[in-house]
Amino acid sequence: MSSLDLIKEAILAVDPTKASKLATVSATQEIRELGMDSVATMEMVGFLEEKLETQFSDEVMVRINTFGDLIALIDKTQAV
């Protein structure tokens, strides 16, 4: 499963109403453009942390703006 597919799974788990928008999610898109508030974003990150059996630091998370940033973080985590 690609990192983007994993992110889409997390979005769907947190907010099923976003299902119709998943096809348009891309690495260059800002997370807020999907209409996710900060609570939903944190729930999405929690889902990813659970799936990847890791925990992202707050210092890293404050720099995440796009889905590409999140993909890079997931890829880095999986490479370790």
- The ranges assigned to domains in the chain are 3-79
What pLDDT sits at residue 50? 96
For 9-64, how does the pLDDT look when each residue is reduced to its tens digit (9 = 90+)? 999 999 999 999 999 999 999 999 999 888 898 999 999 999 999 999 989 888 89
The CATH architecture that domain 3-79 belongs to is: Orthogonal Bundle (1.10)
Using pLDDT thresholds of 50, 70 and 90, give the confidence band for residue 1.
Answer: confident
Q: Rounded to whole angstroms, how far apart are CA atoms 16 and 68?
A: 21
State how far the Cα of 39 lies from the Cα of 5, in Å rounded to an integer: 21
What is the structure's pLDDT at 11? 96
Q: What is the pLDDT of residue 69?
A: 94
**Can you give the pLDDT at residue 15?**
94
